[in-house]
Structure 1
Amino acid sequence: MNTPLRILLLEDDARDAELIHELLEADHFLCEITRVQTRAEFLAGLEDSGIELILADYSLPSFDGLSALKLALSARPDLPFIFVSGTLGEDVAIEALKVGATDYVLKTRLSRLGPSVRRALREARERAEREKAEEVARRSEKELLDVIEAIPIMAFTTLPDGGSAWVNRRWAEYSGLDETSGSRWQATLHPDDLDRHVTKWQQSLASGEPFENEARHRSANGEYRWFLVRAVPLRNEQGKIRKWYGTLTDIEDRKRAEQERARLRQLEADLAYMSRVMTMGELAASLAHEIKQPIAAAAMNASVCARWLCRHRPDVVKAGQAASATIEDVTRAAEIIDRVHSLYARGTPNHEQVDLNEIIREMIVLLNDAAHRNSVTIRTEFDVSLPTAVADRVQLQQIMMNLMLNGIEAMQATGGELRVASKRIEDGHILISVSDSGVGLPVDGPDRIFEAFFTTKPQGTGMGLSISRRIIASHGGRLWASPNAGPGATFQFVLPPTLP
């Protein structure tokens, strides 16, 4: 059974009231009409919560429709209000609509009443649904803000254009600003962070993409701290941004830890550099010999070239061969100098794809004279399928130089063979081993050789192996030593193909 439409009708003419009732029922409205004529009766009718629509004549003997409209807007602004009058002029009708009337229908054109009522009820229903949804959204937002207020984090909301809408108590206490401060939050940014932070925020506002940036904000007492600032847009059903919700997470401790790690990395790099320089100092005589050999050969070949050209009949072919040999000798000397220069170079670690077999070959060239003077032969066993590793080339050169030079020096009294091998193992990792037949590892705790300042050499610093282990660890690998079955020791390290 359909529920009747309950109408409050302000009308002094009973016949007009009856006609309105008949027309509505003819237009398929089941109506229950309460007719009133005076102000008191109208006010009493407004108190009936079941009333769904007001129809009102404009002019009555003891009351008027415009006064009724104002009373209805004050007491029941949700009710549709339609004027049904025979005396309503166009100017008066327009004024009534401006005041808040839903529509007007002239009694001479009552055929419009049904469609007007239908439209007014539809708009009222849509308005009620919209207000209900907005109220639900407001309650949800309040509940969300209450939850955010309880979370130990700084939070804020902004309007779609970035204007401040709300900040929680933690931000207000930290910054001394509230939601009425507008864009003054920018004044809390560190001068070095201001332009980048504001630019990224404006880009997010323009694109609608989530915002994230790290910046320093000044507290109310003038202290700057690092914060990770994030903001995401809240959109309506049409996809339009309603608000931005954001948080500020204090990352000061993390930043300080990062700075401390950076300082330690720089300290390690400085120590590694000092170790390289000292090692190169120890190799000065060997390096001089390695460089002098190709230079002397180049000088000799250049002299031969000159003699071939100075003959009565110059032999251009022989002179060309001597010149080519000169170029090869000079190129070899230049390559040795380049390798030495790279080891002396000072800079921050530069990770790239590195061929460990190539690095071993380079170190053999630099250490060949030192090995020869100590009656040591160098034998290599290369895995031709060895993958490259992501590493710092200079640091790996330093490690190979340390391990190979240590092996050569361990055999300086007896001579022997230094074996250097590369091998691909499980998961694509790389294993490098350096074996000698020298004095072996210390009996009292062989792992002590990796401790800083521990050395068995009269002129040693005790830093080479300690730094080498740190470098390998920073690349995600491991360096260790073990005694051989016979004389000597084997040093090995494993590197992953990529950085951890």
Structure 2
Amino acid sequence: MKSALRILLLEDNNHDAELIQELLEADQFVCEITRAQTRGEFVAGLEDAGLDLILADYKLPSFDGLSALQLALDARADLPFIFVSGSLGEEVAIEAVKIGATDYVVKSRLSRLVPSVQRALRETRERAERKKAEKAFRRSEMYLAEAQRLSHTGSFGWDLASGEIYWSEETYRIFEYEPASAPSLQLVLDRTHPDDRTHLQRILDRALIERTEFTVEHRLLMADGSVKYVRAVAHPSAGEDPGSFVFVGAVMDITERKRAEEERERLRQLEADLAYINRVTMMGELAASLAHEIKQPVTAAAINAQACSQWLRRDPPDPPKASEAAAAMVAALTRTADIIDRVSSLYRRGKPERELVDLNEVVREMSVLLADKATRSAVSIRTDLDPALPASTADRVQLQQVLMNLMLNGVEAMQDKGGELTVASKRTEDGQLLISVSDTGIGFSSDAAARIFDAFFTTKPQGTGMGLSISRRIIAAHGGRLWESSTTGQGATFQFTLPVGATAS
């Protein structure tokens, strides 16, 4: 069902008013007509928000059409206004249209009324749709400009045929040029850091020749001497004109991201340095134990070398015995080399090296390395290792460092009265690898337990307070978790988990 056409009709002649309604309804219009004959009635009729159309006679006894037109333009400029009059001359009608009337129809030719109304309604509808589209476009442009400002991302277009370049407002802000400046490649190169210009020029030249998408990062040297980092991305597109070719792209100010990356790298290097210092410090604490550990196979090698020499000097020489002594000497020196390799790996600096690591093997290595110090502290080291524990992809040296930290702390916690250090491994219910290091020392107070993983917090007179903090970071970087549980006077237990597929980041 058609919606009613709501009309404000300014007409003092009843017959003409009826005729106008009949003509419109004969053409399938459903009309709701509000009739006015005076200025007051017309003004009141304009207040109807649902009006679709105004039809007005030119002359009335107490009012006139031109005054009505002016009132309508002031109050409801969006409404179509059609003069329907028998006294409207050609010149006056044309002037009325210039002022703002939509059309005019002479009463002697009312057959033009329906086409005039149809055209007026269509034009009004199209005008409303166009305004709506324009408003949506302006809103979209505003949102885009604000989004570019917030994300520090500008847009650009580059027409290869004409050389013309378009910049958005944000692109002007990034390069710090006035919007009145005509963008050009030269402006870009002038603003580019001198050390990056050759690289950028090479990228642009290749894009011109190959006409393929490109991505480039480079620095800008601003007028005040500051430096910005930008990243430009562009892809080829067909232009508006046949045969034209343009690049459409975005330029992002990545200065904050670059500085954050530099800061992260600086902190990463600082952490690596602290971890290295921690390892070296621990090795210093183990110097006596290491000397003892190395001295034993070296002494054995020397004894076997002397025995080999004696067997060969006998008359007659005894080669089988000499060979046996030589083999024992080689075995002792090989063991010495293994010890040195284990120790030197802890002194190594560099990026994490990921490999499949057998955690049980690392526990056994650290147990051997700490055996002499534990013995001298009246501490026994016991292991309870799950033989079915799978390997984990991780950095071997970092895990050695964590275990050495935890085990050395446990030994030192019992060095006055002796005790037992237990290192266990198992698989958790959710499939992770769990290592626990437990001692029978005095444990931690509640205050100390809350702070033991804080950097530079220590309960040892000569401690640096970095071991546990670094250990927790290492485990977290492998995707695991390190925590402690203790009861004052009943020892402490440190546990950490690792995913089976852990990788050192």
- Superposition TM-score, scaled by structure 1 size: 0.64
Q: Which residue of 1 aligns with 2:110?
A: none
Give the counterpart letter for 1:438 in structure 2.
Answer: G
* CA-to-aligned-CA distance 1:39-84 (integer Å, 9 cap, x gap): xxxxxxxxxxxxxxxxxxxxxxxxxxxxxxxxxxxxxxxxxxxxxx
Distance 1:188 1:387 in 2: 56
Q: Which residue of 1 aligns with 2:502?
A: 498
Counterpart contact for 1:160–1:242, Cα < 8 Å:
yes
- What is the CA-CA distance between 1:204 and the residue it aligns to? 5.5
Q: Which residue of 1 aligns with 2:416?
A: 413
Instruction: Sort the Cα spacing of 1:297 and 1:228 in 2 relative to 1 into closer, same or farther, 3 A.
Output: same
Counterpart contact for 2:443–2:489, Cα < 8 Å:
no
Counterpart contact for 1:420–1:433, Cα < 8 Å:
yes
- What is the CA-CA distance between 1:427 and the residue it aligns to? 5.5
Instruction: Sort the Cα spacing of 1:315 and 1:486 in 2 relative to 1 into closer, same or farther, 3 A.
Output: farther
Q: Which residue of 1 aligns with 2:185?
A: 182
Q: Which blocks of at least 5 consecutive residues in structure 1 are unaligned?
A: 1-138
Counterpart contact for 1:482–1:491, Cα < 8 Å:
yes
Q: Which residue of 2 aligns with 1:368?
A: 371
Instruction: Sort the Cα spacing of 1:175 and 1:359 in 2 relative to 1 into closer, same or farther, 3 A.
Output: same
Q: Secondary structure at the match of 1:244?
A: strand
Distance 2:217 2:358 in 1: 37
Q: Which blocks of at least 5 consecutive residues in structure 2 are unaligned?
A: 1-133
Q: Which residue of 2 aligns with 1:444?
A: 447
Distance 1:388 1:171 in 2: 52
Counterpart contact for 1:161–1:205, Cα < 8 Å:
no
| Residues 1:267 and 2:267 are matched in the alignment | no
Give the counterpart letter for 1:379 in structure 2.
Answer: R
Give the counterpart letter for 1:369 in structure 2.
Answer: D
Distance 2:390 2:164 in 1: 55
Which stretch of structure 1 is more off in the superposition, 150-159 or 193-202? 193-202
Give the counterpart letter for 1:341 in structure 2.
Answer: S
Distance 1:172 1:346 in 2: 46
Match of 1:331 among 306, 330, 334: 334
Q: Which residue of 2 aligns with 1:169?
A: 169
- What is the CA-CA distance between 1:408 and the residue it aligns to? 1.3
Q: Secondary structure at the match of 1:444?
A: helix
Which stretch of structure 1 is more off in the superposition, 382-391 or 402-411? 382-391
Where do residues 240-319 of structure 1 align in structure 2 (5 Å cutoff)?
A: 242-319=245-322
| Residues 1:489 and 2:489 are matched in the alignment | no
Give the counterpart letter for 1:463 in structure 2.
Answer: M
Q: Indicate the RMSD between aligned Cα atoms, in angstroms.
A: 3.3
Distance 1:193 1:232 in 2: 22
Distance 1:442 1:416 in 2: 19
- What is the CA-CA distance between 1:288 and the residue it aligns to? 0.5
Counterpart contact for 1:455–1:461, Cα < 8 Å:
yes
| Residues 1:159 and 2:162 are matched in the alignment | no
| Residues 1:398 and 2:401 are matched in the alignment | yes
Instruction: Sort the Cα spacing of 1:162 and 1:278 in 2 relative to 1 into closer, same or farther, 3 A.
Output: farther
- What is the CA-CA distance between 1:491 and the residue it aligns to? 0.5
Which stretch of structure 1 is more off in the superposition, 169-178 or 321-330? 169-178
- What is the CA-CA distance between 1:189 and the residue it aligns to? 2.6
Give the counterpart letter for 2:334 in structure 1.
Answer: T
Instruction: Sort the Cα spacing of 1:179 and 1:418 in 2 relative to 1 into closer, same or farther, 3 A.
Output: same
Counterpart contact for 1:484–1:490, Cα < 8 Å:
no
Match of 2:234 among 228, 231, 234: 231
Distance 1:414 1:199 in 2: 73
Instruction: Sort the Cα spacing of 1:462 and 1:145 in 2 relative to 1 into closer, same or farther, 3 A.
Output: closer
Q: Which residue of 1 aligns with 2:348?
A: 345
Distance 1:265 1:391 in 2: 18
Q: Secondary structure at the match of 1:447?
A: helix
Counterpart contact for 1:420–1:434, Cα < 8 Å:
yes
Counterpart contact for 2:161–2:244, Cα < 8 Å:
no
Which stretch of structure 1 is more off in the superposition, 415-424 or 325-334? 415-424
Give the counterpart letter for 1:166 in structure 2.
Answer: Y
* CA-to-aligned-CA distance 1:279-337 (integer Å, 9 cap, x gap): 11111111110111111111111111111111112222221121111111111111211
Give the counterpart letter for 1:389 in structure 2.
Answer: S
Give the counterpart letter for 1:498 in structure 2.
Answer: A
* CA-to-aligned-CA distance 1:425-462 (integer Å, 9 cap, x gap): 35653221111122222243423222233322232222
- Superposition TM-score, scaled by structure 2 size: 0.63
Q: Secondary structure at the match of 1:312?
A: coil
Distance 1:266 1:296 in 2: 41
- What is the CA-CA distance between 1:235 and the residue it aligns to? 4.1
Q: Secondary structure at the match of 1:454?
A: coil
